[in-house]
Amino acid sequence: MTVTSLRSFPSLPSHPSLPSLPSLPSSARRPADDDLSVWPASAEDRPDGRLSVAGVALDGIAEQYGTPVYVLDEDEVRRRCRAYRDAFPEAEVHYAAKAFLCRALARWVEEEGLGLDVCSAGELELAVAAGFPAERILLHGNAKSPEDLRAALRLKVGRIVIDSPAEIARIAAAVPPGAEQRVMLRITPGIGAGGHAKIRTGSEGQKFGLSLRDGHAQHAVSRVLGQPRLRLTGLHCHLGSQITGVKPYLSAVRRLVGLMARTRDLYGVVLPELDLGGGHGVAYRPGDPVLDPTALAHRVRAELIESCAGAGLPVPRLIIEPGRAVVGPAGVAVYRVLAVKATAARVFVAVDGGMSDNPRPALYGVRYAPRLIGRRSVAEPVRTTVAGRHCEAGDVLAEDVALPGDVRPGDLLAVPVAGAYHLSMASSYNLVGRPPVVAVSEGTSRLLVRRETLADLRARDVGV
């Protein structure tokens, strides 16, 4: 297990002379520390180069807890929960636990009045163990295991989102006699939206949902309504992730209201709920587009009212499921620089983490804006690739970013917008343990999730 601190580098050499490097584009001529727009609102750039979040210096966090380390601003999470509640006062807002979940976060979300959606028995059991009310939880998943369904029924989750025809009979057979389980149907509306092909889930030809186009959705409605132990409360869709425009959601509203109208006409059933999922985009670098929840709420509500009026339907209760937009901008990853290598084209800065704690750049080509913390540099910026420590050429955390030309081993780099889909997707590749999570609030820090140690990894290996 590698946990580095400044004491690991007793004598830091000065940066070697760099070869002449190609000019940086005008948008990247200054290091990222000039702009804190994508950092938590509490982030403060101190005159000595130290950066604090919620009144806690990030270099102090690195010294106390080691690196890599994830820092989560509790007040930023709570502020974003409230922003969604304010934007959607008549809707149910469910935090998407797949973005990141720990017991403390489940408690914050519950205290701020949000529901929760989970994708496994593990997420469900952890949330309930933290005190989250099961009736405010939705269970998702395109391939729910028997364990997932047993846990959902035992704990009495609020709704199970059915994703395939096979689940209908499985769930109905597992509901105890005399009981009833509320369910929704996940519909594939044939809308492609999202920041990358691998995270577009509302289009045809992928694994999620029941297609409107081929009739599977309508057939599933009929089958669920024929199950006395299941109560169909509404329709669900999820279009994708990192969506920054409103129009795809408006198209989804129109198509799902159309299915609701056909359900009423064919079966005399008016469905009371419509879940538009999440996927709300955030800015990872200054200037990136974002999805404004207030604008989304206003236009979705207007479209829902208009579409329902045209179909002669009452307006259903709206449900949304933000995940990244709640926790992503509240998180910061802090790494220690281990090596600096200059080539004719660029400088490689290698850190003590990588694709084991953040696989997103390798999976989706995501771009970040890391910055030097812990000291002030006056060196000119150079074209830099921040590389991870793992034995993969694709283990790159940030490509073609501007960092000071005097970055050296022992320095600290911080990566903003690291709260979502980093640690939740982490692995122990190369038997490197997963980093800890530290919460900061009002000038104090506390450990939420401890570092995974070599002892933890050894304990799982029982095959001697």
pLDDT grade, residue 191 (50/70/90)?
confident
Residue 3, pLDDT > 90, answer no
In the prediction, which pLDDT does 202 show? 41
pLDDT grade, residue 193 (50/70/90)?
low
Residues 238 and 376 placed together within one structural domain of the fold: no
CATH number at residue 238: 3.20.20.10
- Domain closes at, from 269, 292, 327: 327
CATH number at residue 439: 2.40.37.10
Residues carrying an active site annotation: 391
In the prediction, which pLDDT does 215 show? 84
In the prediction, which pLDDT does 435 show? 98
In the prediction, which pLDDT does 151 show? 97
In the prediction, which pLDDT does 344 show? 83
Residue 341, pLDDT > 80, answer yes
Residues 68 and 192 placed together within one structural domain of the fold: no
| Average pLDDT of the chain to the nearest whole number | 90
Tell whether 172 is covered by a domain. Answer: yes
DSSP state of 67: B
CA distances from 30 to 25, 378, 430 (A): 10, 11, 35
In the prediction, which pLDDT does 4 show? 60
Tell whether 451 is covered by a domain. Answer: yes
Q: Provide the percentage of residues in the chain whose pLDDT is more than 90.
A: 81
Residues 214 and 94 placed together within one structural domain of the fold: yes
Residues 203 and 335 placed together within one structural domain of the fold: no
Structure tokens at 414: 């911080």
In the prediction, which pLDDT does 346 show? 82
Within 10 angstroms of residue 381's Cβ, the number of other Cβ atoms is 20
What predicted TM-score, i.e. pTM, was given to this entire model?
0.90
Question: Containing H/E element for 122?
Answer: helix 121-129
In the prediction, which pLDDT does 34 show? 67
In the prediction, which pLDDT does 301 show? 97
Q: Which DSSP string do the residues of 183-240 spell out, in sequence order? A: EEEEEE-S---SSSGGGB-SSTTSSSSEESTTSHHHHHHHHHHT-TTEEEEEEE---B
Residues 126 and 42 placed together within one structural domain of the fold: no
In the prediction, which pLDDT does 257 show? 97
Residue 383, pLDDT > 50, answer yes
In the prediction, which pLDDT does 23 show? 45
- Across 141-177, b (16+ Cβ under 10 Å) vs e yields beebeeebbebbbebebbbbbbbbeebbeebbebbee
Domain extent for 67:
6-73+329-460
Task: Tell me the average pLDDT across 331-356.
Answer: 94
pLDDT grade, residue 49 (50/70/90)?
confident
Task: Tell me the average pLDDT across 443-452.
Answer: 98
Residue 28, pLDDT > 50, answer no
Residue 196, pLDDT > 70, answer no
CB 405 within 8 A of CB 384: no
DSSP state of 299: H
Structural domain tally of the chain? Answer: 2
Residues 279 and 148 placed together within one structural domain of the fold: yes
Residues 354 and 427 placed together within one structural domain of the fold: yes
- Domain closes at, from 297, 327, 357: 327
In the prediction, which pLDDT does 227 show? 96
- Across 383-399, b (16+ Cβ under 10 Å) vs e yields bbbbbbbbeeeebbbbe
Residue 359, pLDDT > 70, answer yes
In the prediction, which pLDDT does 26 show? 43
Residues 117 and 129 placed together within one structural domain of the fold: yes
pLDDT tens, position by position, 103-145:
999 999 999 999 999 999 999 999 999 999 999 999 999 889 9
In the prediction, which pLDDT does 2 show? 55
Tell whether 1 is covered by a domain. Answer: no
Task: Tell me the average pLDDT across 61-89.
Answer: 98
In the prediction, which pLDDT does 10 show? 45
Residues 352 and 316 placed together within one structural domain of the fold: no
In the prediction, which pLDDT does 199 show? 45
pLDDT tens, position by position, 362-374:
888 889 999 999 9
pLDDT grade, residue 345 (50/70/90)?
confident
Residues 361 and 251 placed together within one structural domain of the fold: no
In the prediction, which pLDDT does 65 show? 98
Tell whether 302 is covered by a domain. Answer: yes
Rounded to whole angstroms, the Cα distance separating 404 from 378 reads 7
Task: Tell me the average pLDDT across 289-317.
Answer: 97
In the prediction, which pLDDT does 79 show? 98
Q: How far is CA 129 from the centre of its chain?
A: 22
- Domain closes at, from 327, 361, 390: 327
Q: Phi and psi dihedrals of 330, rounded to 5?
A: -85, -5
Task: Tell me the average pLDDT across 333-349.
Answer: 93
Task: Tell me the average pLDDT across 389-412.
Answer: 95
Residues 49 and 197 placed together within one structural domain of the fold: no
Within 10 angstroms of residue 281's Cβ, the number of other Cβ atoms is 22
Residues 62 and 81 placed together within one structural domain of the fold: no
pLDDT tens, position by position, 226-284:
999 999 999 999 998 889 999 999 999 999 999 999 999 999 999 999 999 999 999 99
